[in-house]
Structure 1
Amino acid sequence: MRYRMIEALTLLVSIGASWQPCPAQGDVSPPVASPAERLQAIKDSQARALQAYQAGLQASDPDRRRGAVDAYLAAVAANSDLALELAETSPADSAAIGALVFVIRTAKAGPSDHSERAVALLSRDHAKDQGVGEACQSVFFLFDRVGAERFIRAVLKENPGRVERGSACLALGRLLAYRAKMIRWLRENPDRIDEFAAHRGKEGFAEFLNESDVSAMEAEAAGLLEQAASDYGDVKEDGRTLSEIAGGELFELRYLSVGKPAPEIEGEDVDGERFKLSDYKGKVVLLTFSGNWCGPCRAAYPRERAVVEKFRNRPFVLLSVNTDEERTTLKKSIDSGEITWRCWWDGGVGGPITTRWSPQVFPTSYVIDHEGIIRRRNPREEEVETLVESLVGIIEHSHTGEQKQRDAEPAPKSKDESLKGRP
């Protein structure tokens, strides 16, 4: 414990030192770091902490791995505190919004309250500011936090900038759609509620699940996404228009729910050969959206190779929409044996297939049955093989029953036999 406290204090001191005034030399005024420079120092510190964390997770000693997690969480808390202080003491500086976005993207949904404090400062100081659209897009995944929704609604209503209102309109539609999706999923998987409620307050979270009108939520989300596409469609975000982005979100909301037929996918594989999702109807499909640029995606490759091997020569196939920008990146992974399944190469996260399906996170996965119906979205790692085995078993049982029925039927008589005994 003492070493962790020392580490956290060292982190705070080292970050703080990066913007402390230099000692006075004669009549020369000491340089004072700007808020932008201070924010960059915080980001650099967090990047180093992340590298140390990732390296620590590779250790064979479980105590070292636990230590890496604890050290990283200490860094998240320390850096988030510093960024919040920056935003609170320099609200008029352009770096303030960036500092709050940093907090939300770093601290995420918990276990601390840093993200909620960041959202509160965004609401208090920046709802009408130019450039606040990025913050709107950062908070949408805080789907159960009243403050996040209140902030985005304030930007949509009060901000004088069309670009900012467009970002808010899209973000609010996303937040409500994601909230509805998560509520449906948690209601179908009540064993996961405690996990999600752990850092949110169990009683309040259970009440939130029970009282939410999911249908009304989805209807409002669809209306906001339609508004983003029609009223702000030409506004660009991350190189794509809001019309394109909102169209993908609407597509997901309307067509990618569990129990609905999986929409067609058509595109080129690594060799430029075109193929379709429907080419594999009759088999269970594990469909993933992935890319070598994504650390968690690459971390999943060994498990996915194991699934492919386990169900080899059975009615199952793993297909992936690859989002690497260069086709050669995918080819290297296939040639090396890192990827052992067929992929559509989509040319980046803004590719046509990915834009249409609009995955919120990478990797995203769907389990599709032999009739083309979506049976599960983003199953847990331990659920994948069990679910695939169950669906594959249905196909094999059906085929076995059909074969037994054919075996039990009398063989058809030949023409000569059918004529025997006739005059």
Structure 2
Amino acid sequence: MRHLLYTVILAALCVDVLVAQSLKDEFQQLQREYASSTEAWQVKYDGVKTEDGSIARYREWPGWSFASKFTSFAEDAGSSQEGFDALLEVLKMGNSVGEFDQDLFDDYERAIELILEKHREKKLRNLCAQVRVSKQSENFLRTLMVEGDSNELRAEACFFLGRLLSQKRDMCLPNSWAKRPGVGAFGEYSDSRVRANLDRFLANQDIEQLQSEAIRCFKLVTSDYPDVPTARGDEKLSDRARREIYELRHLAIGVTAPDIVGADVDGKPMRLSDHRGKVVLLVFWASWCGPCIGDIPHEKELYAKFVDRPFVIVGVNADDTLTSAQDSVRDNAIPWRSFWNGPDGIDGPITTNWNVRAWPTVYVLDPEGTIRFKHLRREELGEPLEQLVTETETNVSKQR
């Protein structure tokens, strides 16, 4: 009898091993197929620059069809690691191309549902920062901030729920990228693919309520989890939450921007509010920042386009020496003035007050100093600036 029991147990273990190996093989095969299809797609459209070519390239991206394959695999794979990894592939797709696309949206949302249903025991803290702005992402974070299995997970979910609500608020504003139609053939095409899902998500939202709830989330982090470190361990999550509260209250779209009083890179006094009455493109930059330097030719085009119109570019340079700042202005032939952030570089007073975390950071202010756009760059700036500058000129004409 004992021998028979051992035989049954051994047989069951063998079945489990075979099932696990089968799942692993199936997942690896799916990954190979996706990689092969993506490689062929990249070769086919390498160097494409026309609008029609860009549309075809976007339409034929393998991710559109493979998202459902990964989701279906995960549905059948239970709580296995392979099932979890398949869902992560779908989330990566959303982070790559945007979660609202008509051919990805349902799989993206289902992937997040499945993570909550089948993978609560996995390490989910890092996912809090990765989920995009969507209904299921919001549900994911709300669930984990209450039911998470550790203070660290609950704090992380609470913090990133605040971030999500803050981003959702910005998306609901009239001038947000989410409300603007696409420009050009490719822009119109890509916009048509997301418009229905995006509009449903943003419908009937209360902007003030979103801001209030976001602030409540950040305050909860500071009060209930004051000593929880960030996932990277480089600071306390509560310190980041306090900066987010400040940004929502003082640096959000629709808010009057704080004044900047200081000196430019040549030591001459200047202040941001001196440019009231003009549209201001405020650019936080540094000579060591490759993307910042790469943006300068585009900014020069805008400078030339709007010359003699109510528009000005103002820089904030974060080099830690005046010499390097001055050299960069000279070497790049920058015609507009820049504040110098001081010898502390990125930790100087201006960038600290403006909670700058990425380089470059770009704001567009209207003639009253109200923040109208954030984080637009290069070609994205052309239409919004033209709209604001023209609007400013019209208002000035009416007042005469």
TM-score range, shorter chain: 0.5 to 0.7
Corresponding residue of 2:62 = 75
Q: Secondary structure at the match of 1:120?
A: helix
Residue identity in the other structure for 2:303: V
Q: Which residue of 2 is the match for residue 247 of structure 1? A: 242
Aligned pair partner of 1:111 in 102, 107, 120? 102
Question: What's the counterpart of residue 169 of structure 1?
Answer: 158
Q: Which moved more, 1:89-98 or 1:345-354?
A: 345-354
Query: CA–CA distance in 1 between the matches of 2:191 and 2:54?
Result: 25
Unaligned runs of 5+ in 2: 1-20, 183-187
Corresponding residue of 2:5: none
Say if 2:134 is the partner of 1:133: no
Task: Report the CA distance shift for 1:284/1:174 in structure 2 as closer, same or farther (over 3 A).
Answer: same
The alpha carbon displacement at 1:253 in A equals 1.9
Q: For 1:98 and 1:206, locate their aligned partners in 2 and report how far apart those are by CA, in whole Å.
A: 26
Task: Tell me which residue corresponds to 2:143.
Answer: 154
- The 3 A distance-change label for structure 1 pair 157 and 52 is farther
What's 1:408 paired with?
none
SS for the counterpart of 1:56 is coil
CA distance 1:372–1:161, shift in 2 (3 Å): same
Kindly indicate whether the alpha-carbon contact (under 8 Å) linking 2:125 and 2:231 is maintained by their aligned counterparts in 1: no
Question: Partner residue of 1:236?
Answer: 230
Contact 1:248–1:356 under 8 Å retained in 2:
no
Instruction: Show CA shifts across 1:294-344 (max 9, x none).
Output: 86x777544422221133355532124568999999888755538654456
Matched with 1:372 is 369
Rounded Cα–Cα distance in structure 2 between residues aligned with 1:392 and 1:279? 18
Amino acid paired to 1:105: N
Kindly state the Cα deviation for residue 172 of structure 1 after the two structures are TM-superposed: 1.0
* Equivalent residue runs for 1:47-62 within 5 Å: 56-57=47-48, 59=49, 61-62=50-51
Distance 1:118 1:289 in 2: 37
Which stretch of the first structure deviates more once superposed, 45-54 or 102-111?
Answer: 45-54
Which digits, 9 at most, give the CA deviation of each residue in 1:35-55, with x for residues without a partner? 998999799879968976995
TM-score (norm 1): 0.63
Amino acid at match of 1:179: K
Distance 2:319 2:71 in 1: 35
Q: Secondary structure at the match of 1:319?
A: strand
Note closer, same or farther for the CA distance 1:183–1:63 as it changes in structure 2 (3 Å cut): closer
Partners of 2:273 and 2:41 in 1: how far apart?
A: 41
The letter for the 2-side match of 1:249 is E
Structure 1 residues 181 and 40: alpha-carbon distance in aligned structure 2, compared to 1, 3 A threshold: same
1:372 is displaced (CA, Å) by 2.7
Kindly tell me: are residues 141 and 349 of structure 1, through their superposed partners in 2, closer, same or farther at Cα, counting changes over 3 Å? farther
1:361-414 Cα offsets, whole Å, 9 max, x none, are 88764332444333455586313123124326656987xx6xxxxxxxxxxxxx
CA contact (8 A) 1:107 1:115 kept: no
**Pairwise CA distance, 1:224:** 0.5
**How far apart, CA to CA, are the structure 1 residues paired with 2:331 and 2:72?**
48
Counterpart of 1:12 in structure 2 is none
The equivalent of 2:11 in structure 1 is none
Superposed CA offset, 1:111-148 (max 9, x none):
32332232122222234533x12212222422xx2x22
TM-score by length of 2: 0.66
How many residues end up aligned between the 2 structures? Answer: 360
- Structure 2: which amino acid aligns with 1:156? M
Say whether 1:215 aligns with 2:205: no
Residue 93 of structure 1: aligned partner:
81
Aligned-residue RMSD, C-alpha: 5.2
- Does the CA-based 8 Å contact 1:248-1:355 persist in structure 2? no
User: Contact 2:170–2:253 at 8 Å: present in 1 too?
Assistant: no
For CA contacts below 8 A with separation 6 or more, give which structure has more relative contact order: 2
Point out the structure with max Rg over C-alpha: 1
For residue 111 of structure 1, give the secondary structure of its aligned residue in structure 2.
coil
Change (3 A) 1:51 1:311: same
Residue number in structure 2 paired with 1:305: 300
Between the two proteins, what is the percent identity of the paired residues? Answer: 28
Q: Greater shift after overlay, 239-248 or 354-363?
A: 354-363
Unpaired runs of 5+ in structure 1?
1-29, 402-423
Note if contact 1:265-1:277 (Cα within 8 Å) is conserved in structure 2: yes
Worse-superposed segment, 307-316 or 355-364? 355-364
For 1:391, the equivalent position in structure 2 comes to 392
Deviation of residue 165 (structure 1)?
1.2
Whether contact under 8 Å (1:268, 1:344) holds in the other structure is yes
What CA deviation, in whole Å up to 9, does each residue of 1:229-268 have, x standing for no partner?
3333442145443223222322232223455321134678
